[in-house]
Structure 1
Amino acid sequence: MTRASYNDIAQWYDQFLRERPVYMEVILPGLLTLVGEVEGEVICDLACGQGWVARELARRGAQVIGLDLAPNLLALAQRYEVQEPLGIGYVQGDAQHAEGLSDQQFTGCVCVMALINIPDLQATFQSVRRILKPGGWLVFAIPHPCFESPHAQWTSLSDPEHPLGRTVTGYFDERQWFSSNPDGVRSRVGDYHRMLSTYLNQLAAAGFALERALEPGPSDRQAERVPGNREVPTLLLIRAHLLDGPQAENMSRV
């Protein structure tokens, strides 16, 4: 399959999001749990894509600005905004630099299933730090790095001697990779596999403190699609908050 960018697959990806229960039935409830009440918050949806998370937050009373690199995805987001005006603003830019967003502009930031597509994780966390107000929060969702390494596979459903599970190899091999699954996103645009420690250490180095982590189980429909999700989490959601100057400096030395 030809390798593409999200801009190339924008229409396909929009349909993919609407058809997969994992987004609305698993990721969204976990995200809302970590974000909490958002009425009156000013939130950046970083790497917002076609704006599905931005719309959910805006419906709950947040003032939202979405930033994404792909103009075709932003065009879809704008189309949804016209159909259902929620006051969401959209800006084209690279999450690694967050150009077009001002310093200390937001009280919170979400980044959903996008950090895996960004080459420079540390630059991205530093950009989030720049655009957040003092004490601001970050919530992100990623495929679980412990169980979604490049060569991870489900054990066979037809093997009566072994319960359904996940075999993981290549965990320490941090790199960009492309899946062989022709129906998935990763076969088209790939992602960057990183160890769990990489995410946590770089988050701390950017001046954030971990508040809470979620490893959500599946909804009924998601479990029908992927039975192994009943046994092994394939998603990780993190909430962290920005430390003040002295605290952040001490954390960066750890």
Structure 2
Amino acid sequence: MISVSSRANLGWWDGNADEYQVEHGEFLRDSGFVWCPEGMDEADAHLLGEVRGRRVLEIGCGAAQCARWLVTQGAQVAAFDISHRQLRHSQRIDLETGVRVPVAQADAESLPFAGGSFDLACSAFGALPFVADPLAVLREVRRVLRPGGRFVFSVSHPVRWAFPDDPGPRGLTSDRSYFDRSPYLERDESGAVTYAEHHRTMADWVNLVVASGLSVTGLLEPEWPEGHERVWGGWSPLRGRHIPGTAIFSCANI
């Protein structure tokens, strides 16, 4: 049964996918693997290692820009997202670029793939920040990975939750407890949840990965690069010089 958070975010992303792709599509590129608003690119970072000939799953793919780049690198790729409208943008880009990505509509808490189907899994801000039960997602990822497989995922850096989501000076002054795990919720006039994003501390994320049976093999906190002036929501050059915006976890199915 789909959770309240998943149902809310399905509706939100279906309603906002067009605007999102217009606003961020150029930065993400039709075929490009950008890990975060800081602009870290997999082509340079090589967090997934060699992908040619590997079976790779992208989790929460949006319009599958990352998955499409993986296809161009010789990977055998499958991708999914909860939003049908985002996947329609994936199909549009397939037609425009001639690079096709097999996509499915699915909830990350219950993956429609057989156990041990993939060598690698990846997620660039997909699914994990938005689900109420991240342990269920991580356990599903472990299930579909072969023994020795790897999973790399990026999320908002937990410390950001102690600050207003403001790219300006206001966003540099903490106004809430880092340890307050209350989710950020938006509601309609009837009180129904229409958007949900969940906070976990850094320790929470590490413990969730371990509890799933995966192991943490690496952690990156990308620094804001010189010359990068793009503002994305609460991410900005001003804030990026002072606090980390993204955490990227590398995990192994040992």
Q: TM-score with structure 2 length normalisation?
A: 0.79
Give a deviation string over 1:129-177, Cα, whole Å, max 9, x none.
11111111000001101233464667838xxxxxx95536221121320
Query: Who is 1:48 aligned against?
Result: 61
Query: Who is 1:175 aligned against?
Result: 182
Q: Does 1:119 align with 2:132?
A: yes
Query: Who is 1:219 aligned against?
Result: 225
Deviation, 1:122, is 0.5
Task: State how far apart, in whole Å, the 2-side matches of 1:190 and 1:218 are.
Answer: 27
User: Identity of aligned pairs, percent?
Assistant: 24
Code of the residue aligned with 1:177 in structure 2: it is Y
Residue 109 (structure 1) aligned to one of 121, 125, 128: 121
Q: Does 1:195 align with 2:201?
A: yes
* Unmatched tracts of structure 1, length 5 or more: 158-163, 180-187, 244-254
Change in Cα spacing, 1:219 to 1:178, as seen in structure 2 (3 Å) is: farther
Query: Who is 1:66 aligned against?
Result: 79
Aligned residues of 2:116 and 2:146 also touching (Cα < 8 A): yes
Residue 157 (structure 2) aligned to one of 144, 155, 161: 144
Change in Cα spacing, 1:148 to 1:19, as seen in structure 2 (3 Å) is: farther
Q: Does 1:95 align with 2:101?
A: no
RMSD: 2.8
SS of equivalent residue, structure 2 residue 198: strand
Deviation, 1:31, is 8.4
Query: Who is 1:208 aligned against?
Result: 214
Query: Who is 2:250 aligned against?
Result: 239
Aligned residues of 1:203 and 1:209 also touching (Cα < 8 A): yes
Change in Cα spacing, 1:103 to 1:27, as seen in structure 2 (3 Å) is: same
Code of the residue aligned with 1:119 in structure 2: it is A
Deviation, 1:30, is 8.5
* Unmatched tracts of structure 2, length 5 or more: 1-8, 29-33, 187-193
Deviation, 1:205, is 0.8
**Between Structure 1 and Structure 2, how many residues are aligned?**
227
